[in-house]
Amino acid sequence: MAARAPQKLNSYLVVMAGGSGTRFWPKSTSKRPKQLLAFGGNGQGDCGEGETLLKQTLGRFDGIVPSSQKIVVTTAALEPAVHEQAPGALVLAEPQGRNTAPCIYWAARTVAAIDPKAVMLVMPSDHYIAHLSAFKSTVQKACEWAASHDDLVTLGVQPERPETGYGYLKVSANSEGGCKKVDSFVEKPNLERAKQFLADGNYLWNGGMFLWRAEVILRAFDELMPEMRKVWDGESGEVARAYPKMTATSIDYGVMERAKNVVAFPLECGWDDLGSWTSLESLAEALHARHAAGTVTGGDALAIDSTGNIVDTPNRLTALLGVNDLIVVEHGGAILVADKRRAQDIRLIVEELKKRGSNLL
């Protein structure tokens, strides 16, 4: 946590928006993955009800990062749609998705070429934030820390429940300037361990949100993934040639879990990862938007002896009779009816439709 002399804070936002869209099928498709979908803001904290997740994500950093310094990394296939949702942003179109390490390496080289001392705010494009001002205030502090310390800063979400769907950060008990040392990265726990983590108080959700100066993350790459610079420079920074040769791994696995200079700012802002249809339930909880049928995120619903369902059927009324814990979605010529416990298996449907050569993907 060695501090540098303070200087004017220059920052770049790097939004990762390369997801391929299987978990929210049929609402999400390959041409319109979830980052390009609107799940409804709350009209209070987050920016823009009815805006796409990508647009909401970009808007969240207004006043923190100059709009001309917002970068979106996506895949070539999504580039036109991303340009539409992110006018004015610099778009880096990956020739193919190769997980987050190559994506962040490319972004870091891009930012470093402009200003190696600039802070990069690396953010996924599929998060929900209930309380925007709390989020911004933590980001601001983390940003200042990253500008003045040679640390890899992450935002660790203060757990609200014993969640088994996220990885955790084990952090130190004591903090300095609101910031805690990260001792280790912990894989998704079972329920028992998740309960222990919640009780312990020194575990935060790993939300995949990072802040660091470009020079600091590049130094970490050079130490922990030296092959990245070798490939990149070997191909004279030509992305199309370099990308296929880069190590396709996550930034967590490639860098963060092995680096010694990782710190976390605890984040309390009603955060949720929109990972699958079931994650909309906690979102609805946060918005106090529960319905007799369960969670209704699109269209209207009528429930008779039916609870715990997730309904997204825009412009339609869905009537439920004697059914519980289902996901019911209608979109673009397709209807999905799934057991909620199978939310992670929706990709099986997408795979089957691919085999059939369906145009519903």
Which stretches of the chain bind its own copies, using CB under 8 A?
25-26, 302, 304-305, 313, 315-323, 326, 328, 330, 333-339, 341-342, 345-346, 348-349, 352-353, 356, 358, 360
> By the 8 A CB rule, do 97 and 22 touch?
no
Gap between the Cα atoms of 4 and 85, Å rounded: 37
Q: How far apart are alpha carbons 66 and 153 in whole angstroms?
A: 20
Q: What does the alpha-carbon distance between residue 12 and residue 88 come to, in Å, rounded to a whole number?
A: 14
For its own copies, the closer CB: 240 or 337 = 337
Min. distance of Cβ 53 from its own copies in angstroms?
A: 23
Gap between the Cα atoms of 253 and 234, Å rounded? 24
Q: Residue 346 is which amino acid?
A: I
CB of 288 to its own copies, least distance (A): 23
Report the nearest approach of its own copies to the CB of residue 353 (Å).
Answer: 7
Q: Select 122 or 301, whichever has its Cβ closest to its own copies.
A: 301
Between 150 and 325, name the residue whose CB sits nearer to its own copies. 325
Contact 322, 306 (CB under 8 A): yes
CB of 78 to its own copies, least distance (A): 23
Q: How far apart are CA 103 and CA 107, in angstroms?
A: 6
Please say which residue, 260 or 356, places its beta carbon nearer to its own copies.
356
**Crossing angle for the helix pair 100-114 and 227-234, to the nearest 10 degrees:** 60
How near is the Cβ of 32 to its own copies at its closest, in Å?
17
Helices then strands, counting H and E runs in the chain, come out as 11, 16
State the minimum distance, in angstroms, from the CB of residue 38 to its own copies: 21
Q: How far is the CB of 66 from its own copies (least distance, A)?
A: 44
| Tokens of residue 40, six digits | 């409804």
What's the closest the beta carbon of residue 303 comes to its own copies, in angstroms? 10
Nearer to its own copies, 23 or 149 (CB): 23
Alpha carbon of 13 to those of 38, 139, 140, 205: distances in Å? 21, 11, 13, 21
CB nearer to its own copies: pick between 176 and 339: 339
Q: How far is the CB of 327 from its own copies (least distance, A)?
A: 8
Residue 12's DSSP bridge partners are: 120
Q: Which one-letter DSSP state was computed for residue 126?
A: -
Q: Which is nearer to its own copies, 184 or 358 (CB)?
A: 358
- Three-state secondary-structure class, residue 130: coil
Q: CA 150, CA 142: separation in Å to the nearest integer? A: 12
Specify the residue, 142 or 293, whose C-beta has the smaller distance to its own copies. 293
Q: For residues 310 and 328, what is the distance between their CA atoms, to the nearest angstrom?
A: 6
Residue number with CB closer to its own copies (75 or 318): 318
Nearest to 258 by CA among 291, 231, 228, 223: 223
Between β-strands 203-213 and 119-124, what pairing exists: parallel, antiparallel or unpaired?
antiparallel
